[in-house]
Amino acid sequence: MNEILTQLSDCIEFGKINMASPYPPQMKGQEGADELTAKALAEGINPQDVLTLGLMPGMERIGLKFRENKVFVPQVLMSAKAMSTAMLHLKPHFLSGAAKQKGTFIIGTVLGDLHDIGKNLVSMMVEGSGYKVIDLGTDVGSDKFIAALKDHPGAVVGLSALLTTTMVNMQAITKEIKDAMPGTLITIGGAPVNEDFCNKIGADSYSADPQGVVEFLNRKLAS
Amino acid sequence: MVKEFAFGFKELVIDHKLMAGVMGYENGQLPPPFDEYMETALQEAATLNDIRASYLLIDNSRIDKGRKVLYARENEFNIGNAVCNELNGAERFAFYVCTAGKTISDKSVSMLKGEDPVLGYVYDILGSAIAEAAGDKMQLFLKNEVGKAGEKTTNRYSPGYCQWSVGDQHKLFSLFGEAPCGVSLTQSALMQPVKSISGVIGIGKNVEFREYQCSLCFSENCVYRRIRGI
């Protein structure tokens, strides 16, 4: 594989944003995701390859490390910062069609709940894994999910909740989405929910961590 | 009787080791650059002027051990078996609300949304630690006050933990009337500012203060279980 792409995937994995960033200490003074993405595109590397061979492998590695408790939320957020910096360079290529994302994921924290750290982590990880993400924010009811689905047919929906009082809203939102847009796939997550709850409310998947959502999307959208 | 407090950040004892643990670093040490992020947040926190706490003492209250219910004024709190046992022997109760304030809560949310998610996350963790530290200081005051009459206090227990439904927050807040410490509730019982805590402390000559034990609680994904290696 191209050396720049290998370096780029390392920058994502270790959260090296740009040359000026002192983090991580072992990469201090080196080019980061910002410079390397620009350099890769300037050297004529296909934007699709920059995404799938450079950025995505790094994001997958950090996602797996997070699942295995080898890294923690701050490190994932640094990786996400590096990823979003790189994505700024790729954005024009997504718009022109020179690079394609694997599908669309609509995510929101359910009605009544304002917690968004877990939702943001999933959002960043999914985007870094090659999907277009529509983040509806917090306190989101079924009407907003359905409107977003109408704008993005075939998208998968992610519902997040942190409270036992708001997880119950997942049931109504899931039903209303499925009634309005039959066939829509819904994945749920958050501290109080589990596989049994997922089955009970008629959602399609429960994930205990962000990488689980990526794996579900890869099975359903990218296969 | 409602007792209210306004605390300066420097008056509070912040548990740095616990903050590092909550962030995943179980040895209590934040590695670079997160130690610098925390230093930035701590310096900013020193300027906070909206850290508040209050408690309301209710004398005519009792627990029905059979029904696992705490009666306070016209409210029935379904506190569950574990909290019921912890409050056993209490003759009166202090309901409390404490907050790290709107400033740090809002800062965390806005940073997380865009400007700097890592710093936003650090503010989020620090905000939680401030709310708990305000609770500790309020609780110490209460302990000393009731201690003058030979009474003791239990640890503090909150709706949402140990099978006590978080929906009971609405009853708890109704005891105070207007938003205590400026804290209000959403319909789903979420406190705003988000970095706030609420609950009850048992008071009596025969109560005991017991440290929190994860075995009392059924929250399997709780971060404190991970820190304690349970």
The pLDDT, as a whole number, for residue B223 is: 63
B23 has a chain A CB within 8 A of its CB = yes
Q: At what angle do helices B117-147 and B102-110 cross, to 10 degrees?
A: 160
Task: Give A-chain residues touching B165 at CB under 8 angstroms.
Answer: 164
Tokens coding B152 = 């003791």
Instruction: Say which residues have a Cβ less than 8 Å from residue A179's Cβ, sequence separation at least 6.
Output: none
> What pLDDT score does A25 carry?
87
- 8 Å CB contact of B24 and A117: no
Q: Which residue of A has its CA nearest to B163?
A: A164
Give the model's pLDDT for residue B167: 85
List the single residue in B25, B118, B190 with the smallest CB-CB distance to A78: B118
Tell me the average pLDDT across B75-80: 94
Interface test with B, best of A67, A83, A164, A168 (most B CBs within 10 A): A164
Is A147 at the interface with chain B, CB within 8 A? no
Q: Which residue has the tokens 């290529």?
A: A93
Map tokens 């066939």 to a residue. A183
A163–B24 CB contact, under 8 Å: no
pLDDT at B222: 63
B220, pLDDT greater than 70 = no
Q: For residues A145 and A136, what is the distance between their CA atoms, to the nearest angstrom? A: 8
The mean pLDDT of chain B is 90
**Topology of the domain comprising A104-220:** Rossmann fold (3.40.50)
* pLDDT the model gives residue B165: 84
Q: Does B42 touch chain A (CB under 8 A)?
A: no
DSSP secondary structure string for all residues of chain A: --HHHHHHHHHHHHT--STT---SGGGTTS--HHHHHHHHHHTT--HHHIIIIIIHHHHHHHHHHHHTTSS-HHHHHHHHHHHHHHHHHHHHHHHHTSS--S-EEEEEEBTT----HHHHHHHHHHHHTT-EEEE--SSB-HHHHHHHHHHSTT-EEEEE--SHHHHHHHHHHHHHHHHHSTT--EEEESTT--HHHHHHHT-SEE-SSHHHHHHHHHHHT--
Q: Which amino acid is at B210?
A: R
Q: State whether A163 and B188 contact (CB < 8 Å).
A: yes
Interface test with B, best of A17, A23, A81 (most B CBs within 10 A): A23
Taking the C-alpha atoms of A147, A148, A154 and A155 in order, what is their torsion angle to the nearest 10 degrees? -150
Query: Measured between CB atoms, does B109 come within 8 Å of chain A?
Result: yes
Output the pLDDT for position A223: 63
- Strand order of the sheet with strand A132-135? A132-135, A104-109, A156-160, A186-189, A205-206
Token match 């991580």: residue?
A: A24
* Spans of all domains in chain A: 3-96, 104-220
pLDDT exceeds cutoff 80 at A89: yes
Q: Does the pLDDT of residue B188 top 90, yes or no?
A: no
Q: What is the pLDDT of residue B4?
A: 95
pLDDT of B217 reads: 66
In this model, does residue A122 exceed pLDDT 90? yes
Nearest-by-Cβ selection for B117 from A22, A25, A77 = A77
Report the length, in residues, of chain B. 230
Given a cut of 70, is residue B227 above it in pLDDT? no
Q: When comparing pLDDT for B47 and A25, which is higher?
A: B47
Give contacts of A74 with chain B, Cβ < 8 Å.
Answer: 23-24, 34, 37, 118, 121-122
Q: Is A112 on the interface with B (CB under 8 A)?
A: yes
- Out of B33, B118, B188, whose CB is closest to A166? B188
Say yes or no for a CB contact (<8 Å) between A116 and B112.
yes
Q: Closest by alpha carbon to B79, among B98, B63, B101, B95?
A: B63
pLDDT in tens, B129-160: 999 999 999 999 999 999 999 999 999 999 98
CB contact under 8 A, A72 and B122: no
Read off the CATH number of the domain in which B88 is found. Answer: 3.40.109.40
Domain count, chain B: 1
Size of interface A-B (CB pairs under 8 A): 69
Q: How far is CA A175 from CA A109, A167, A170, A171, in A?
A: 16, 14, 8, 6
A221: which residues sit within 8 A by CB, 6+ positions away? A102, A103, A131, A156
Q: With CB atoms and an 8 Å threshold, state whether B32 touches A23.
A: yes
> A26: nearest CA in chain B?
B32
* Cβ of residue B194 closer than 8 Å to a chain A Cβ: yes
At residue A55, the pLDDT reads: 94
> Nearest C-alpha of chain A: how many angstroms from B151?
35
Sign of CA dihedral B139, B142, B144, B150: negative
CA atoms within 13 A on the CB side of B76: 7
A3-96: CATH number: 1.10.1240.10
Decide if A81 and B23 are in contact by the 8 Å CB cutoff.
no
Whether residue B37 and residue A69 make contact (CB cut-off 8 A), yes or no, is no
Q: What percent of chain A has pLDDT over 70?
A: 99
Tens-digit pLDDT profile for residues A168-221: 899 999 999 999 999 999 999 998 899 999 999 999 999 999 999 999 999 998
pLDDT for residue A200:
96
- Whether residue B230 is predicted with pLDDT greater than 60 in this model: the reply is no
Q: Where in the sequence is the domain holding B80, given as residue range(s)?
A: 2-227
Contact residues on chain B for A78, CB-CB shorter than 8 A? 118
Instruction: State the Cα–Cα distance between residues A175 and A154, nearest whole angstrom.
Output: 17
A1 pLDDT band, cuts 50/70/90, is: low
pLDDT tens per residue across span B10-68: 999 998 888 998 898 878 888 888 999 999 999 999 999 999 999 999 998 889 989 99
Query: In B, residues 207-226, which contact A (CB 8 Å cutoff)?
Result: 219, 221-222
Phi, psi of B81 (to 5 degrees): -65, -45
* Burial tier of B27 (Cβ tally within 10 Å: 0-12, 13-18, 19+): exposed
- Is the pLDDT at A145 greater than 90, yes or no? yes
Residue B180 is which amino acid?
Answer: P
Q: Given CB atoms, is A191 within the 8 Å cutoff of chain B?
A: yes
Tell which phi-psi region holds residue B89, choosing left (phi > 0), alpha (psi between -120 and 50) or beta. Answer: left
Band of pLDDT at residue B163, cut at 50, 70 and 90: confident
What average pLDDT does the segment A81-108 reach?
91
Going by DSSP bridges, is the β-strand pair B2-7/A205-206 parallel, antiparallel, or unpaired? unpaired
Contact in structure between A87 and A34 (CB atoms under 8 Å): no
- Residue A113 has its nearest CB partner, among B118, B122, B188, at B188
The residue in chain B having the minimum alpha-carbon distance to the alpha carbon of residue A22 is: B33
Using pLDDT thresholds of 50, 70 and 90, give the confidence band for residue B216: low
